Structure 1
Amino acid sequence: MPAMDEAFWANLDAHIVAHRQDGPEKAPAASLQSSPTLAVVGDAAPVPRRVASDWTGVLDTLTAAKSAAQQQEARLREQAAEQDTLLQELKRSQQEVRALEGLVREIQAQADAKAGELRARAEAQVGRVQAEASARLQAMETRVQAAERRAEIAEGWLVRIEQASRELLPSEGRAAA
């Protein structure tokens, strides 16, 4: 089994070198040299094993990826905290808006009630003023009618007095009058 493990690692090393982004021709010379020990698997040809320094690039990549993942996780936590804070603030704002809407409805209802009360008072006042004006007008019409009757009576009396005074005048004065 140890020979198989060494063959596996050797094949993996070869695969990594072949698929490097900068190409196998730019791989460090040390990585392409075989190590002093060769592994033999069954009847297969010996497979060269590369130096462990080839793995330092992979380890650096993994370390950088881990660091980037940690930084991303920290940013995500910060964003989540900010979003949570904003969400709480939004909920408070919505509650305040609902409370203010309730106050507005209550004030509107009070204003409507007050307006209705004032309208009723005004209508009652107008009714009283109209009734009082009607009563005064009626009283004045009654006075006018009474004055007209007195004037008619006075005219009648004046006509009678005039006739009586003519009758009292001597006959000569009657013809001239």
Structure 2
Amino acid sequence: MAEGLIPGKGTYEANGHIFSSLVGEVLMREAGGETVVEVSQQGSRSSVAAAVPEKGNIVLCRVTKINPRHAATEILLVGDRTLHEPFSGIIRAQDARSTDVDSVQIEKCFRPLDIVRAQVISLGDRKSFFLSTADDHLGVVSAMSRGGERMTGVDEKTMKVEGGEETEARKVAIGSPPSS
């Protein structure tokens, strides 16, 4: 990365370079002796924005597959912005819950096709963002049972078939994200 330049709003750093996460105007401002590079979308009225998830963003994603170490996801929304193309995300077992992180079983947190609210914690490998569901307001927000019936959250670890008794284990999102 160029010395003295740091990524700001609408940008991110990868492999020593600053990239734009938005379509818009490049702006530079001084902050603490360094130059902050930002991209502004002023005047954009599109609800479908060209965006790249950034560290700290709350995202909505769909679980595509699970294994004992992680859940693979497609990131569909960044905040309230729908993406043109989904990005890949990974929720590692140690990032799924805030407690008992050494004993997390991914299959008891997520299932394929679950819709999950997560927070971007870093740009992982070249293909995927690392996501966390450790906070209470993060986790599964919509799920179908193994039998194909819609489920709702009962508590932070359980979902129940609507109008039925069948329950399944999940890492359920409790409450709404804090206002920013």
TM-score (norm 2): 0.17
More helix by share: 1
More strand by share: 2
Report which structure shows greater RCO (CA 8 Å, sep ≥6). 2
Radius of gyration: which is bigger? 1
TM-score (norm 1): 0.17
